[in-house]
A and B are shown apart, each in its own frame.
Chain A
Amino acid sequence: MIAIECRDVVKRFKSVTALDHMDLTVEKNGIFGLLGPNGAGKTTLIRILTGLITPTSGTCRVMGTDVGDTDSDHRFGIGYLSQDPKYYPWMTGRELLFFVGRLFGMPLADIRKRADELLAMAGLSQAADRKIGGYSGGMVQRLGIAQALFHQPEILFLDEPVSALDPIGRKEVLEFIASLGEGMSVCMSTHILADVERICSSVAIMDEGKVKLVGRTEELLAGVSGGMSLISFASAADAEKMGAQLDLQGVPHVLEADRIRIAADLFEEHRGVILRSAADGKLRLSTITRERADLEEVFVDLIQGGRTYGKR
């Protein structure tokens, strides 16, 4: 089942092309991470998918419903938390949730029950009848998640949901988002790679208005970048000699005391040379291990279009 489907989507703001013939398909259920540097088009894509703006050309479907108009019906099934949520400062937290419930045409008894549940979940029961204008940033963010979940949406769009939070708040919100992924679809944009790696089951990497890479997080980490190979020697001197050999061969690497770190695919390419150099120089090799790539490597590799592993 498909949650999000975008075909040949273009979005132009005057002379700026924010989305450039972008295609994307996201499966239902699970947490989908939208990664990319600033200006990659993540927020523009989320704003199109939530019906806040319309694409210049191309089609988008959310849960099977067309998102072609700012008055689209698909908004009944979505929840949205913006990057910098703004609510009416004169309302109380409870009043805001009641307002959301009324907008969705929910019966008053259900609104009351749901508001109590979500205020408790967001840790705002004590502050429920205080004006939002007096809330802290973290409280506003938690209220934002509560209002986005109020009508039990099929899909939740979160635009940089934890970027403004302190480490504790971030951890709490991420754990909460992770718990949502079991029964609903979540699409979360972020530039914090560790967060995506931690909670997202699949990920798309965007740059310059295009999706550069999409797939399951585990597969991306295992397949796209080979990670690093770590060659350990019996002594730092041996490691230094090997480093000199690699310099001669023009193989980028990092020397760390008695170890040499080298991109795994480069290691595979120069495996023969490395082992021969070790044998010829009577260098005492201890172990050769492979470290799994992290998302940062995949990301930087794609965005910068080349290896970042520098020479010593």
Chain B
Amino acid sequence: MGNADISSLPALLRKDFMEQLRNGHFLVICIVFAFFGITSPVIAKYTPQVIEMVGKSQNIQMVVPEPSIRDSFVQYVKNLSQLIPIFLIFLTMGGIAKEKDSGTIAFVLVKPVTRFACLFSKLLVHSAMAAAGLMVSAILAGVYTLIFFQDLPLWWFTRGNGALLLYCLTLVIITQGFSAISEKPVNAGIAALVVWIVSIVIKMLPGIGPFSFSVLSDEALGAMAGFSISWKPVLGAGVVSVAITALGYLKFKRWE
């Protein structure tokens, strides 16, 4: 006999990755992220022109400042931090909860597989999917920013995307944690959504506000403007991720 350790992880990773490919989630994530990557600089570039045209048609003289690279970054971060969280939660809320709901988890758990390996595999695959999506988005946003604004401070842009990546991963990890706790994917999604909304509310509070992981989107924008990233929301993201994952694992370990 062998040991039921995490040696089954490669097989689980392969299966979970194939599942995301076959059910089209991987493709959907890439398309949605690509959409925001392309449209953000385009909107930043052409919005002033559209406003001027609308003003002219109404015989109103509108003075709109010339769009800058900063407008492109603001649009990019705003799109990713406001719309992508809902999309990521929706797409990754299945995880363990979907397998519990459909009954496939029992088939896996009677094999020499640890519950930790099951959860870790889902976490890795969904995180990799979010990271790949963000990479597609960042590359396209960078290229289009360069085309429209003839400039791209690569290091600042990369650092800003690092903060966005941490933000996305925190949301994926929270969703996976709740997926391990819940019996139904929709419950996991609602719980993750609530945590995200609470984090936005906390962001506005004095004292603990800077520790909210939602501050990471502001930090991303700051980093793209050349400021350094504060450690406070990074710590907050780490604490929330570890706490919810630990809770999810303990609950899943005792799941019957």
| Residues on A facing B (Cβ under 8 Å) | 13, 47, 50-54, 65, 70-78, 80, 82, 84-88, 90-91, 95, 99-100, 102-105, 147
Contacts and interface: CB of A to CB of B under 8 A. Distances in A.
Nearest to B7: A105
B114 interface: yes
Interface residues of B, number: 32
A206 B121 CA distance: 39
B27 interface: no
Contacts of B194: none
B23 interface: yes
Given A52-B256, A53-B256, A105-B2, A73 B112 contact: yes
Contacts of B7: 105
Contacts of A88: 15, 19, 104
B10 A102 contact: yes
Nearest to B255: A70
Contact of A99 (B11, B110, B114): B11
A70 B19 contact: no
Contacts of B14: 99, 102
A218 B22 CA distance: 52
B197 interface: no
A195 B137 CA distance: 60
A52 B111 CA distance: 10
B201 interface: no
B253 to A, nearest CB: 6
B192 to A, nearest CB: 24
B107 A52 contact: no
A70 to B, nearest CB: 6
Interface string B1-27: 111100110111011001100110000
Contacts of B18: 90-91, 95
Interface string B136-166: 0000000000000000000000000000000
B103 interface: yes
A87 B105 CA distance: 9
**8 cross-chain pairs, A with B, having the tightest CB-CB distances, nearest first:** A86-B103, A102-B11, A53-B256, A76-B1, A80-B110, A90-B22, A103-B111, A75-B112
B107 A70 contact: no
Given A90-B23, A99-B11, A75 B111 contact: yes
A64 to B, nearest CB: 10
Given A71-B115, A84-B103, A85-B107, A65 B11 contact: no
B109 interface: yes
B15 A99 contact: yes
Contact of A86 (B1, B104, B114, B254): B104
B109 A52 contact: yes
B82 interface: no
B106 interface: yes
A51 B113 CA distance: 11
A51 B110 contact: yes
Given A73-B112, A88-B104, 7 more contacts: A52-B256, A72-B4, A73-B3, A73-B4, A76-B1, A99-B14, A100-B111
Contacts of A80: 110
Contacts of A76: 1-2, 4, 112
Contacts of B1: 65, 73-74, 76-77
A51 B112 CA distance: 10
Given A73-B2, A77-B1, A88-B19, A50 B110 contact: yes
Contacts of A72: 4
Interface string B63-86: 000000000000000000000000
Interface in B77-124: 102-104, 106-116
A74 B1 CA distance: 8
A70 B106 CA distance: 11
A117 B106 CA distance: 25
Contacts of A70: 109, 115, 253-254
Contacts of B116: 71
B181 to A, nearest CB: 16
Interface in B8-61: 8, 10-12, 14-15, 18-19, 22-23
19 contacts: A51-B110, A65-B1, A70-B109, A71-B115, A73-B1, A73-B2, A75-B111, A75-B112, A75-B113, A86-B104, A86-B107, A87-B107, A88-B104, A90-B19, A95-B18, A99-B11, A99-B15, A103-B8, A103-B111
B109 A51 contact: yes
A13 B254 CA distance: 12
Nearest to A65: B1
A298 to B, nearest CB: 31
A104 B112 contact: yes
A140 to B, nearest CB: 11
A51 B12 CA distance: 19
A124 B228 CA distance: 61
Contacts of B253: 70-71
Contacts of A95: 18
A75 B8 CA distance: 13
Contacts of A51: 109-110
Nearest to A85: B107
